[in-house]
Amino acid sequence: MKIFRTDLHVGLNNKLFEISSSSLGLDNVSFAEDKITCTIHSEHAPNGYYIKGFMTVSISESCDRCLIDFNSKQTIEFSILLTSDVKLINNDEHDVIFFTDQDDAVDFNPVLAEYVLLDRPLKKLCTDDCKGLCTSCGCNKNEMDCDCTQDTQSSNWEVLKNIN
């Protein structure tokens, strides 16, 4: 997604963009929808512009507990500073894109791709109360109850209990 300097100069007030999920270049992420909606607001800043907004992304995931596929819809907020001031490159509040007075447009796709990757959860669950798979028979405990009994006495780790 490219935004031109003329649009930034006039100002973007909650402007809606639709971008292709393939344009982010994230081959290891399986998007559930081809379009990502992105709403952007811009403001003038010293030596540049503040870009604030959010994007809505739908990603196909596999549950870490029960292994079923599900779609996860996420709304990701972002705050980006476009500046030509080298002193502001290490800003802790905003991501910074170096944007000189000679640049006519700025490409946001690499930064948006980073936001998608950083917002993905470490543990992907289909529901918060997912019961997972039975460790004995492998059935999905969300779909049925199995008759397996957990034999806690016979364990491969039993030998470790005898070590002093």
Q: What is the DSSP string of 118-153?
A: HHS-SS--SSTT---B-TTT--BTTT---------S
Count the helix, strand and coil residues of the chain and give each as a percent rounded to the nearest 5.
Answer: 20, 35, 45
Is it the case that residue 148 has pLDDT exceeding 90? no
Contact between 36 and 101 (Cβ < 8 Å): no
pLDDT tens column, 100-117? 778 888 888 888 899 999
- What is the dihedral sign for C-alpha 153, 156, 162, 164? negative
- The pTM (predicted TM-score) of the whole model is 0.75
For residue 38, what pLDDT is reported? 92
pLDDT tens column, 11-31? 888 888 899 988 888 888 889
